[in-house]
Chains A and B, each alone.
Chain A
Amino acid sequence: MNGHLLSILLFLPLAGLIPLLLIPSDQKRSLKLCANAVMLAGFLLSLLLVFQFDAAAAGYQFTENAPWIPSIGASYNVGIDGISLLLVMLTTLIGFLATMSSWSAVEDRLKEYYALFLILQTGMLGVFISLDLFLFYVFWEVVLIPMYFIIGIWGGPRRLYAAIKFFVYTLAGSVLMLLGILTLYFQHAQEYNVYTFDLARLLNTHMAMGAEQFVFWTLFLGFAIKVPMFPFHTWLPDAHVEAPTAGSVVLAGVMLKMGAYGFVRFSLPLAPHAASEPWVVNTIATLSIVAILYGALVCLMQKDWKRLVAYSSVSHMGFVTLGIFALNYNGIAGGMLQQINHGISTGMLFLIVGVVYERRHSREISAYGGLAHVMPNLAVVFAIAMWSSAALPLLNGFIGEFTILAGAFAANKLWAVLASLGVILAAAYLLWLYQRTMLGEVTHEINRKLRDLSLREWAIFLPLIAWAVWIGVYPKPHFDVLDKPVRAIVERVTGGAR
């Protein structure tokens, strides 16, 4: 079984579709149980990866390779290194928690709802473990479809607009990415006379600068829209705000990471010369810093709780891309860790909005106030999530952003100075949000009757809190698994530049 651990993990959610579809639609409890059980099984199974993963070994582990479409050189080629390991763990955990958070939030068309989440889960896992570009692209696109339905059917009032905007926007980026992949594929065939989508072999391609730039920029567009980077972020507030809670959690917690992962796994190693040109690096770093500051400033203006959290994603993902394009060890390692942190903290923040929304059906910040008196448990959880997001020491966000800033400082001091302004702004908008919603007197009588966290909701938050504290107090295991792959990438980019 261990030889196929990744495949089992990948296709488990799809296999879970079969029992789910067989359960009659009116047996809501069984449907929920079935979906949760499949997701939990996926998470437990992924723990095996952690125990068997060898951080000291270079290259990919748990690899599987089988021919798929030999006539075009596409194969079923999967495997993980430290970067993907963390993301796989994040995916299985967030996927499970998102499903669990829907238990009482969604009562409508349950079968379709959970079926879409299961398909989504397979798609996301596939993106993080594919070592074949064709396979990667297929999974990348597969992810879009269930998310479209999740936003469009169970979303908020402007869900139809948000769903199609999300779909068309990200699709436009990914079809251009396909052109980049095909160019690379063709360039490789010209050099070696072999048509293949195998990542390991494509890495040997030597392209002329023009072709490499084309590959880099088309891939860049695909990934930058997904992250989303500054001028391409406009789909995000709509999609995140309109999506149901579980949808927002998965979107922010996992799907945004596909973009940053793409940069590190594909853009940098495949087009190292184009990626390390000074003007390219400067442009992308500038865009990242604009995203950090602009996202944070917009957060300060928000009246809508969920929209605030959504814009904070733009700001935090700006840190991740800044770290990546610092092109040094600290920057990339910090960026990779920070995206896990962002998944944890923003996941929690969206879950908190969900908890409150489920009880009160309002996302206006002004509809709340003094909730700490009514829901003390929630206030504690929110405080942890807020500190984690605002990079307070001893919590995960601090480690990630600190490492990124160290990397950015080494690359360009001005970047580090500007980006650290973002940290301050983040503290400002988060604390202000906390103050307006949790502290003070209860401003609306109706809020006095709100229930505090239930046991199930505690069970959702606890693993995330535990992981946040673990990274904050003892990040070493995480940096250990990131060490080899990040070193390899840095070597490739800086070695390639000279």
Chain B
Amino acid sequence: MLPALALASFGCVVLLLEFLLGKARAAAARQWILGLSLTGLAVTAWTLWAQQQALDGRRLTAFSGAISVDGFALFFNWIFLVASLVTILISYRYLEIEGEEHAEYYGLILLAQCGMYFLATGTDLVTIFVGLELMALSFYILVGFLRGERRSNEAALKYFLLGVFSSALMAYGFSLLFGVAGSTRLKDIGTAIQAGDLHDPILLMGLAVTTVALLFKISAVPFHMWAPDAYEGAPTPVTAFLSVGSKAASFALLLRFFLEPLGALRDAWQPLLVAVAVLSMTAGNLAAITQTNLKRLIAYSSISHAGYMLLGLVAGNETGLQGIAVYVLVYTFTNLGALLVVAALRSKGAGRGTEEDLNDISGLAQRNPAYAALMVVFLLSLAGLPPTAGFIGKYYIFLSLIQTGHTVLAVIATLYVAVAIFYYFRIVKRMYMGEAAERASLISSSLGVRVALGITTAATIVIGLYPEPFLRFAEISLLR
């Protein structure tokens, strides 16, 4: 519970800071606000570490079973922490360029992370719903944070409308599950389902509606329509946070749901997930081919990544689950890294008004060889080629499919790697073989950006070359 308390209290203080200090003084204290947010993360990290030590492989439940702190929850919480850390590090410079330096921004990031905490630890429908809404509400505001920009506003509105719709569905699904089980505890729901009739129409309805809402949150096809718009319009650091943090949190929830209370209904949801996974990989990969906006391209590719992760759940064995954990971990660093490079493209003056499309990155290898080379590493990792981290994630997913006899799915999934390399390398092609555009944006590098790049690159390469400790970490996390 301590990490959530730390996040919530630091989040609220930072949120109110501008109000307490007054606008003028808050502007002067920008660096202090950044420092305070980072301190919040440091305290969270410390509490997480303390919990990890205290846990020692056991599972702690609190508030009469409303939350449960286990290896699984902590694993995801470390991922959330990395996501917000990197986001905050790159935001400072970005907001300065955009002229939107407000303390609320950092506060909302911390509060969103607090929501994620409950998504990963919550074992009660009400707790989960509150956590989900805390995260989603923060994101609605963050996506539309560039008030002066039409794209950002449009993205926020679309994301808000569809997001609220899915939340409503989730609430409806929860109410049906509650109706079946007579309890909001996941454990009781699981027991009730096992004891009762597996073909109960109300139960299946609850399953279906909840699943739809969950699929919306992880932006799987056919509930993915919000993702490209939201990703494109949001400030790039928020895109990074959204694509990684929100997706990881939703996956944590999805896994807990499908494995614990809904595990008995496997026969009902497995074919559904097969279809969704294949559709996600297909639509995501094929739509990404024609994109010219970098953030939209990454959005479509992230839809296909959701498909890959779902395949791990389809396989459903230990390898598959460990695969999802590894995949989420790897995807976190890699996608953050790629979006970080995109964020760094935006700079004052020349870069103002860039649309972050392929033209902006054209000829980057000549102007900023280091950034271009790092982008290649991230893209290779996103595609899943060795020796980068992405390969290790895909490796587990493929292996789990082979182990459970889903050969056809495995063939489809592997062939989409070749498709993915085609569109990821459209970016590489522009960077290395394209002419520098006239309004070529310059990389604006700051200490924060460099530190964040260091973290993401190191992780992407180290996990690729020596994954052993990370695999152990992901293994422990799913032991219950």
Contact = CB atoms under 8 A, between A and B. Distances in A.
B429 A152 contact: yes
Contact of B421 (A71, A138, A167): A167
A64 interface: no
A145 B385 contact: yes
Nearest to B426: A164
Contacts of B472: 71
> What is the size category of the interface that chain B forms with chain A?
20 to 34
A179 B410 contact: yes
A152 B432 contact: yes
Contacts of B402: 179, 182-183, 186
Contact of A71 (B369, B398, B399, B475): B475
Contacts of B399: 182, 185-186
Nearest to A159: B433
A100 B395 CA distance: 38
A186 B403 contact: yes
Contact of A172 (B365, B415, B429, B433): B415
B427 to A, nearest CB: 12
B417 interface: yes
A182 to B, nearest CB: 5
A8 B337 CA distance: 32
B414 interface: yes
Contacts of B385: 141, 144-145, 171
B417 A175 contact: yes
Contacts of B380: 145
A153 interface: yes
A70 B467 CA distance: 10
A186 B410 CA distance: 14
Contacts of A70: 468
Given A142-B386, A186-B402, A172 B418 contact: yes
Interface string A202-242: 00000000000010000000000000000000000000000
Contact of A69 (B415, B421, B425, B467): B467
Interface residue SS majority, chain A: helix
Contact of A176 (B411, B433, B471): B411
A71 B386 contact: no
A71 B468 contact: yes
- Residue picked from B369, B387, B411, B414, most chain A C-beta under 10 Å: B414
Contacts of A145: 380, 385
B421 A171 contact: yes
A72 B386 contact: no
A145 B384 CA distance: 13
B386 A175 contact: no
Given A160-B433, A175-B417, A148 B425 contact: yes
Interface string B447-472: 00000000000000000001110011
B398 A179 contact: yes
A145 B373 CA distance: 12
Contact of B422 (A160, A164, A183): A164
A214 B466 CA distance: 30
Contacts of A137: 386
A142 B387 contact: yes
A411 interface: no
B433 A167 contact: no
A176 B408 CA distance: 11
Interface string B172-213: 000000000000000000000000000000000000000000
Contact of B398 (A68, A164, A172, A178): A178
A50 interface: no
B432 A149 contact: yes
Nearest to B373: A112
13 contacts: A72-B471, A138-B387, A138-B391, A145-B385, A148-B425, A152-B432, A167-B425, A168-B418, A168-B421, A171-B421, A175-B414, A182-B402, A186-B403
B433 A153 contact: yes
A15 B61 CA distance: 52
Contacts of B411: 176, 179
Nearest to B464: A138
Interface string A122-156: 00000000000000011001101100110011000
A141 to B, nearest CB: 5
A71 B475 CA distance: 10
A360 B339 CA distance: 46
Interface in B35-70: none
B31 interface: no
B433 A152 contact: yes
Nearest to A214: B407
A421 to B, nearest CB: 36
A168 B289 CA distance: 13
A152 B417 CA distance: 20
A175 B415 contact: yes
B240 to A, nearest CB: 25
B385 to A, nearest CB: 5
Interface in A61-80: 68-72
Interface in A250-293: none
B394 to A, nearest CB: 9
Contacts of B467: 69
B308 to A, nearest CB: 13
